[in-house]
Structure 1
Amino acid sequence: MTFSLIARCVRTGQFGIAVSSSSPAVASRCAFARAGVGVVASQNVTDPRLGPLGLDLMERGAAAAECRDILVRGNAFAEFRQLAVMDRHGAAAVWSGARTLGCHATAMRQNVASAGNLLANETVPEAMVENFHASDPTLPLGERLVRALRAGLEAGGEAGAVRSAGMLVVDRQSWPLADLRVDWDDAPIASLTGLWALWQPQMDDYVTRCLNPLSAPSYGVPGDE
């Protein structure tokens, strides 16, 4: 009931994830990333505890494959879980337990990985990885993520209609650079693309406003000078 892509931007060091599902509020349960550390997708019969736990392991020095193995060994219901993990070096590791739902598949290369379950066909993760890998590396990571998510939908997506989507990108600060969510919609990936188009031109300004308000651009609202 979910397909996702995790990635690292070689140019900026940012980490990100894009995800979509037939279930509501998918990003709140499945998408986890930490600046300078890595990114984790926890899906299928989701255990959201695995996201922060995996990030803690990688922050303490675990490589992606080691992190995955520890998460699987320590989870009482690992056969229900599907994971995609990426460490600070862009190495990826994936896991699909024996009770992963329906048609499921994974794909990965350096700096990008994808996983999906209850898919329309097994080509969906590879289509997402290939789209990301072939995209212009000078584009913002968020742009590459939403394009790859659309590629997954165009390759078939889920076996049924998707209803939610989200994108999470972290950069150098402890808070997300982008954390966009469509929690229930007839066309959530299209709506997510629209949210990204709205947010992207101003997202760096909000970081500046936090770090140094004196050099921040105007909000452009009445009373703001």
Structure 2
Amino acid sequence: MTFSIVARSADGRFHGVAVASKFLAVGAAVPAAEAEVGALATQAYANLAYRPQGLALLRTGLPADQVVAALVAADRGRAQRQIGVVGPDGDGATYTGDGCHDWAGGLAGPGWAVQGNILAGPQVLDAMRDAWLAGTEQQRFAERLVAALHAGDRAGGDRRGRQSAAVLVVAKDSGYGGTSDIAVDLRVDDHPDPVAELTRLLGVHVMLFERPDPATLLELTGPLADEVRDLLAAAGHGRAELDDALASWAGVENLEERLAPGRIDPVVLAHLRTTTSAKLG
């Protein structure tokens, strides 16, 4: 009832899952991932126990294909199961039981696996594979996952229609404030075009929570500092030193992850200009 990709970044730091389905809140059922361990997707008549069990097996150092084999061997319902697994190294692995609804199947390669059931046809997985392989490491990992999902959706996706989509990405200390390993966890639970909506949410996530590129930071001196100070004052945050005023405003706007003392991220500057100009009319 679902199509998904599980993958690992080329440097091995990131693991993730992107999934879409004609199924309510697919992100609550299919994906699982753990930093420096791996990722998996359980679908068709999903066995949700595969998620903790699969991650536990990956922690022992088993390669992805052996994790898949162990999970399905112990499952009496394996004929109607589908799973994709990727570990910290090696090839991804995928399994489709012979009782899954047509069309169903999977493909796998170095650091990735795609799988789906009740699909428009094998072209869905071919499109996902091709989109993944065409991605570059310059592209954000989560965006690359969602691009593969988009490709599958455009190729026909779930033949019953669309309802939900999700993306989950993990990496060590990559979460909010560096206090978790969850880099991205976005879900569209019920929407007429869930993959497009997931893409929109990912763009918002990048703006709000991605840490700034040090090479792009602008020094808060001279005319730029004067402009920022005036904009912050107009926004009601002008009664403090510049860094403190900017931090106060950024906290309200949920942009605190993009702060850098004495400098300003161009993304933050653009948002400050846009929102303040809108308030000023």
| TM-score normalised according to structure 1 size | 0.90
* Cα separation, 2, equivalents of 1:18 and 1:86: 13
* Corresponding residue for residue 107 of structure 1: 107
* Corresponding residue for residue 135 of structure 1: 135
1:57 positional shift: 0.3
1:201 positional shift: 2.8
158, 176, 184: which one pairs with 2:182?
176
Conserved? CA contact 1:38–1:88, under 8 Å? yes
Question: Are 1:193 and 2:224 matched, yes or no?
Answer: no
Q: Relative to total residues, which structure has the larger helix share, 1 or 2?
A: 2
* Cα separation, 2, equivalents of 1:59 and 1:44: 25
* Corresponding residue for residue 213 of structure 1: none
Per-residue CA distance 1:63-103 (angstroms, 9 max, x = gap): 11110110011112111100101111042111111111121
* Cα separation, 2, equivalents of 1:45 and 1:83: 10
Conserved? CA contact 1:178–1:203, under 8 Å? no
Report the secondary structure of 2:89's partner residue.
coil
* Corresponding residue for residue 18 of structure 2: 18
* Cα separation, 2, equivalents of 1:70 and 1:203: 38
* Corresponding residue for residue 44 of structure 2: 44
1:12 positional shift: 5.6
Structure 1: segments with no counterpart, 5+ residues: 206-216
Conserved? CA contact 1:177–1:203, under 8 Å? no
Report the secondary structure of 2:55's partner residue.
helix
Conserved? CA contact 1:2–1:116, under 8 Å? yes
* Cα separation, 2, equivalents of 1:8 and 1:48: 21
Q: Which amino acid aligns with 1:221?
A: V
Conserved? CA contact 2:166–2:187, under 8 Å? yes
Per-residue CA distance 1:37-64 (angstroms, 9 max, x = gap): 0011100001111011101101111111
Report the secondary structure of 1:177's partner residue.
strand
Q: Which amino acid aligns with 2:200?
A: G
Per-residue CA distance 1:133-176 (angstroms, 9 max, x = gap): 11122111011011111000111111121100000000113531
Q: Which amino acid aligns with 2:252?
A: V
* Corresponding residue for residue 145 of structure 1: 145
* Cα separation, 1, equivalents of 2:74 and 2:210: 38
* Corresponding residue for residue 262 of structure 2: none
* Cα separation, 2, equivalents of 1:116 and 1:11: 27
Conserved? CA contact 1:19–1:27, under 8 Å? yes
Report the aligned-residue RMSD. Answer: 1.9
Report the secondary structure of 1:94's partner residue.
strand
Conserved? CA contact 1:166–1:182, under 8 Å? yes
- Bigger Rg, structure 1 or 2: 2
* Corresponding residue for residue 4 of structure 1: 4
Percent identity reads 33
Moved more, 60-69 or 166-175: 166-175
Q: Which amino acid aligns with 2:85?
A: V
* Cα separation, 1, equivalents of 2:105 and 2:186: 25
Conserved? CA contact 2:91–2:108, under 8 Å? no
* Corresponding residue for residue 221 of structure 1: 252
1:203 positional shift: 2.6
* Corresponding residue for residue 126 of structure 1: 126
Moved more, 43-52 or 104-113: 104-113
Structure 2: segments with no counterpart, 5+ residues: 174-179, 212-245, 260-281
Matched residue pairs, number?
A: 214
* Cα separation, 2, equivalents of 1:182 and 1:56: 28
